[in-house]
Structure 1
Amino acid sequence: MRTTVRRRLDRYRQPEYTGENRCTPCTVVNLAIAVVLSVAVGVSFTPLGVVVAGVSLLAIYLRGYLVPGTPTLTKRYLPEQVLQWFDKRPTVALDADLDVEAQLLAVDAVEPADDDLRITDEFETAWDEEITRVRGDLERRVGSLLELDDPAVERGTDVCRVFDGDRLVARWPSTAALVADVAAIPLLRDRASNWDDLSRAEQGQLLSGLRLFVERCPDCGGELLFSEDHVESCCRTVDVVTYDCDACAARVMEIER
C-alpha cells in the first residue's frame, strides 16, 4: 500500500526543483504564501484552512513551489542580500580565525614566490603521486575517508556526488576537485598535527585554497585555466572567477567576486 501511494506521488514530483536541487529562497517564499493563504481561508472556515495548508505543503514538497514562476519572482523582487543569506554554493570565504595561506605556508605546502605564493616542489610531487593513486581507486578511498559502508561516486565535471548506498552524503564541484581533495588529505594530515581537530568547514577551506595551486587537472591531466563566468542558480546570478580544465571542462575551483 505504501509503495503504491509513493509511486502515485512520484508522478507529481519535480526532481529539478526538489531534493538536493531544492532552492531555499523559493521554498521560504512559497511557505510564506502558503501560511498567508491558509490563515486567510481559515478565518472564514477553519477546516478548509487546514485543508489548504496541507495541500500547499504537499505541493511544495513534491513540486518545489506552490506558485508557478517562483524563481523569476524571487530573483526579481528579493534583495540580493537576502538571497545571499540562503546561498549554499561553496566559496573560499574564510573564517576570521582561519588564515588559509598562513596554514598552507606553515605545513610547507606552498612557499613565497615574489609577491605571490607557489606550491613547493616536494608537496607537488607527493600530491601528484597521490592523485594518480586516488584516481585509480576513487570509490574505495572516498569510502574509507568518509567511513561509508557502500560508497559510490557519481562523476561529473560541474558536480560530483558521493553516496552511501542510496543516501547522498557529500558533493564536490567536480570529480577533479574530489580527487584533488582526497589525495591532499593524507599529505596535510602528515604535516599538520591538529588536522583531525579541525572542523569539516575548516578542512574544506584549506582544501579549497590548496586546489588553486594544482596545475594539471586531477581527473584528466589537462591544463587548468582561470576565467570569469556568470553562475545562474534558481534565483541568483553571480559573477565568479573559475579555475577549470581546458580539456574536460571540470570545475576545480570557483570563487565569488
Structure 2
Amino acid sequence: MGPIAALRRPEHTGANRCLPCTVANGAILIGCCLVLALVRIPIAVVALLAGSGTIWLRGYLVPYTPQLLSRVRELTGRSREPDPTPAASLAAADAAVGERAVESLLGAGVLVPEGDRLHLDEGFRADWRDGIERLRTRSDGGLVEAVSAATDPGTDAELIAADRPMIALVGPDGGESWVSRPVAIAEVAAVRALDSHVADGASRERLAAARALRGFLDRCPVCDSWTEEASLRRCCGNRPRRGTVLRCPDCDEALYRFPDE
C-alpha cells in the first residue's frame, strides 16, 4: 500500500468528515500560506496544495485536531462522546449473509432468546473471552497474521501506522476497509470460538456472525474495561447524528454500531 493510503484517515473523512474541523484547518492553512507568500509565492503555492491534500486525505492538517477539540469540549463543560462510527468489520457488508449468520447462531444456541431480547450463551462467551485474551498480547504484526488467516482467501491485510493503528484490508474484488485493533481482536477471536460451537457454515457467514457478535461485547478487547452504550457524534461534537454505539470509555473506541430503529 502506497504512502497516500498511509496518510488516509477514514474515521475523519467521507461520511465521518467534520465540517467545523475542516473549515478551521483550512483557515489555518490559508493564513500560513499568506505569510509564506510574502517570502516567496511558489513556496506558498506548494504549501497550499500540500496542505489541501492533507486535509482532504486526513480530515485535518493540525495534528490531534479531534483530540484537541474534544478537550475543549470537556473544559467548557460539554461531555465527551464517542467517535461517530466504529471502524469497519472484517466481514463484507451483505445483508443476506448477515441474516443467515444470525440464524445459525440462534440454531447453535450461541444466541439465546429471552423475551424480546437476545443474550449470549455463557459457554460461548467464556471461549470468546479466552481467545480475546490470547490475541490481546500479540504484536501488531502477529495480529495482522491472525486477521489474514481469518478472512477470505485473496484478502490482503496490512498494518497502517497512525495515531490509532488500523489494519487495512483489500479484498479480491478491490474493495477496501479499515479495521481498528479492538474490532480485529474481537472478530478474529469470535471466528475461532465459533469453530467449536457452530457445526458448519461458510467462512463469509462466520465473519458476518463475528461482526454481529460485537454487539454483545461486555468488555473492551484491548483494555478489558466494561463497555457502555452511547449516542453518536461527529469528531468535534457538533451536529449530533442519530444512533447508538457500544464503546469503551477508557480507550474512547467505538466497538459496534447498533442498527437504527
Q: Give the shorter-chain TM-score range.
A: 0.5 to 0.7
Residue aligning to 1:192: 198
1:95 aligns with 2:95: yes
Q: Offset of 1:125 from its aligned partner?
A: 0.7
Greater Rg by CA = 1
Gaps of 5+ in 1: 1-5, 25-58, 67-88
Aligned-CA RMSD value:
4.6
Alignment size in residue pairs? 181
Identity between Structure 1 and Structure 2 (%)? 18
Shift in CA distance, 191/216, structure 1 to aligned 2, threshold 3 Å: same
Structure 1, residues 221-248: CA drift from partner, whole Å, max 9, x if none?
011001111346xxx9742211000211
Contact 2:182/2:220 (8 A) holds in 1: yes
1:183 aligns with 2:189: yes
Shift in CA distance, 63/151, structure 1 to aligned 2, threshold 3 Å: closer
Shift in CA distance, 241/95, structure 1 to aligned 2, threshold 3 Å: same
Contact 2:194/2:206 (8 A) holds in 1: no
Q: Give the letter aligned to residue 240 of structure 1.
A: G
Partner SS for 1:252: strand
Q: Offset of 1:176 from its aligned partner?
A: 1.2
Distance 1:157 1:240 in 2: 26
1:242 aligns with 2:223: no
Distance 2:247 2:212 in 1: 15
Distance 2:11 2:124 in 1: 35
Distance 1:218 1:183 in 2: 10
Q: Offset of 1:134 from its aligned partner?
A: 1.3
1:194-233 to 2 correspondences below 5 Å: 194-196=200-202, 199=204, 202-231=205-234
Structure 1, residues 202-229: CA drift from partner, whole Å, max 9, x if none?
5443222111111100111011001111
Partner SS for 1:161: strand
Shift in CA distance, 177/21, structure 1 to aligned 2, threshold 3 Å: same
Residue aligning to 2:144: 139
- TM-score of the two chains, using structure 1 as the length reference: 0.53
Q: Offset of 1:160 from its aligned partner?
A: 2.6
Q: Offset of 1:123 from its aligned partner?
A: 0.3
- TM-score of the two chains, using structure 2 as the length reference: 0.52
Residue aligning to 1:85: none
Partner SS for 1:190: coil
Q: Give the letter aligned to residue 183 of structure 1.
A: A
**Higher alpha-carbon deviation: 245-254 or 132-141:** 132-141
1:29-178 to 2 correspondences below 5 Å: 63=53, 95-96=95-96, 98-137=99-138, 138-146=143-151, 152-154=158-160, 160-162=166-168, 170-172=177-179, 174-178=180-184
Contact 1:157/1:176 (8 A) holds in 2: no
Shift in CA distance, 126/255, structure 1 to aligned 2, threshold 3 Å: same
